[in-house]
Amino acid sequence: MAETQDSTTVKKPDRKRRLSWREPWAGNPWPAIIEGTVGSFLMFAGSIGMGWIAPASPMLRHPLVIFLRTDGQGIAASTLALSLGAMILIRSWIRLGQRLGGWGTGSLKAVVWAISLWALPLFFAVPIFSRDIYAYTGQGRLVAEGLDPYTQGISSLSNWFQLGADKAWAENRTPYGPYFLWLARAVVGITGAQPDYSVLLFRVVALIGVVLCVVYVPKLAAQHGINPGRALWLAVANPLFIISFVASAHNDVLMIGLAVAAFYFASVGKHKTALLLITASIGVKIITVIFLPFLALMWAGKGAGWLRKVMFWAISGLGSLAILVVSGIPYHLGMGWLFALTDPTPGYTGYAPSGFLGQQLEMIFNALGLPGGDIATGFRTLLKVGSMVIAALLILRGKHEHLVRRAGLAMASIVLLSPIIQPWYILWFVPLLAATGIRNDWQVKSLYIVVTFFVVFGAQDQLSVYSFVQLGVPVSSIAFFVALGMTVYLAFLDVHTRKALFGGRRNDGNWGVI
């Protein structure tokens, strides 16, 4: 099922001829892989001084940890290592793509090696760029103690603040489905809610999602005539994916891994398996319900009339709902997860298009003596409604062979027009777009920019620094200028990586067509 909209003819490599990594025209991927591993180890080292450690963790009593978190030199060194390591990882990712520009069959193996080696140090790192993983422990404790996580926040627990979760979320109800809460309860049952062991076990859970993506992104890409190695490089080897889903261990990776697997099984005609997988994904986090209508259309088949489409939408929707209703019986969870549809997080992020443009409208109309705040809120609401309209149009219109890409674009519209965009939300749709083709023009350059932006943002925004520590220069400023300097170097000075952003388009990577 070839899916390419690019008029440029791409010469197909001979599948019978296996590339050797030593062929000079193909390039040797190992310098980039080793460089990225060094960057990952630097991030591991920096995390000890700058990462999020739970107050109950015995790590805080270790002399090295005390030095790195209370001494000015230790804090500066940790900040430098974390920021520099993240930027080295970005360079390595870009260089790996350049070195594998021929995208022969050996490239997939190289990308898998890169993902494995880059992820390994971060698996053992102190949580960085986010401390949501500690909230997972609290939610597991709620279930284990017979409390309802859909009506009570983790502040209901005794000594909840020792778990390490962000106090901003202490009163919030969990937005996660029953399957993730089952997993969270199992983790707490094994670790006794000890924060450090819980972090490692939640990372094991996250690795299930990573492995699903590593296995099924290439398979789904091959179904669409897209080079599997290049798709995996774009979707999983990128630093934002590895940092967000290994170091931070966001449960979104399990959600998206199950969804990608669902689309693969649907593409090979195993629709009942696909329905079970997407239901499991929804049962982790409900946002992937947007994929259900597309999978139903794949089940209905090419050329299906409207009656058949409606029938399969009904079968898929009611079947998934029935499974989730039954899944709410254990631990008396019920259907409380549905509140996630009607209980959105308030506010906005300034870098989201909705948030940024809303801010500008608010300032302009306030200056004119008009209610700028109300107008900005109305504007953001209009964009949210617009995203739903776009998603609906993508469900109702388009070629059958483009269903997976339409699903990715529908999720992209929901994410990009939302007033709140967390960095890892971008990864909800990138795997599907990578598996159906990201051209080697403005499309891949946009991905470079977005990934770099969010890594730089996390490197200077999510730093754990004691309030009593007095420094001459804020650590966020150190991290920002290191990241900014490296970004300028990569974009304008590095003879290799600057070509990725400003170089001309090459035939070997338009869509990564097989």
Say which amino acid occupies 464.
S
**So what's the pLDDT on residue 171?**
83
**So what's the pLDDT on residue 504?**
59
Q: What phi-psi label fits residue 378: left (phi over 0), alpha (psi between -120 and 50 degrees) or beta?
A: alpha
* CA distance linking residue 286 with residue 280, whole number of Å: 10
**So what's the pLDDT on residue 269?**
96
**So what's the pLDDT on residue 11?**
41
Neighbours of 353 (CB within 10 A): 14
Neighbours of 401 (CB within 10 A): 14
**So what's the pLDDT on residue 7?**
31
On the CB side of 132, CA atoms within 13 Å amount to: 19
**Which pair of tokens denotes residue 179?**
């399957």
What would the pLDDT profile of 275-325 be if each residue is shown by its tens digit? 999 999 999 999 999 999 999 999 999 999 999 999 999 999 999 999 999
Per-residue confidence in pLDDT tens, the chain, 514 aa: 444 433 333 344 444 334 333 434 347 999 999 999 999 999 999 999 999 999 999 999 999 999 999 998 999 999 999 999 999 999 999 999 999 988 988 999 999 999 999 999 999 999 999 999 999 999 999 999 999 999 888 989 988 888 888 887 788 888 899 999 999 999 999 999 999 999 999 999 999 999 999 999 999 999 999 999 999 999 999 999 999 999 999 999 999 999 999 999 999 999 999 999 999 999 999 999 999 999 999 999 999 999 999 999 999 999 999 999 999 999 888 888 777 666 666 788 889 999 999 999 999 999 999 999 999 999 999 999 999 999 999 999 999 999 999 999 999 999 999 999 999 999 999 999 999 999 999 999 999 999 999 998 888 777 888 877 777 788 888 898 999 999 999 999 999 999 998 875 544 444 555 4
* CA distance linking residue 417 with residue 392, whole number of Å: 14
| Beta partners for residue 214, in sequence order | none
- Crossing angle of the two packed helices 30-50 and 106-123, in degrees rounded to 10: 20
**So what's the pLDDT on residue 345?**
66
* CA distance linking residue 275 with residue 135, whole number of Å: 29
Identify the helix (H) or strand (E) that includes residue 272.
Answer: helix 271-282
* CA distance linking residue 15 with residue 360, whole number of Å: 53
Long-range contacts of 146-150 (CB under 8 A, 24+ apart): 146/331, 146/332, 148/332, 148/333, 148/336, 149/173, 149/174, 149/176, 149/181, 149/333, 149/336, 150/174, 150/333, 150/334, 150/336, 150/337, 150/339
Q: What is the pTM of this model?
A: 0.91
* CA distance linking residue 279 with residue 262, whole number of Å: 9
**So what's the pLDDT on residue 302?**
94
- In 368-422, alpha helices (H): 372-396, 403-416
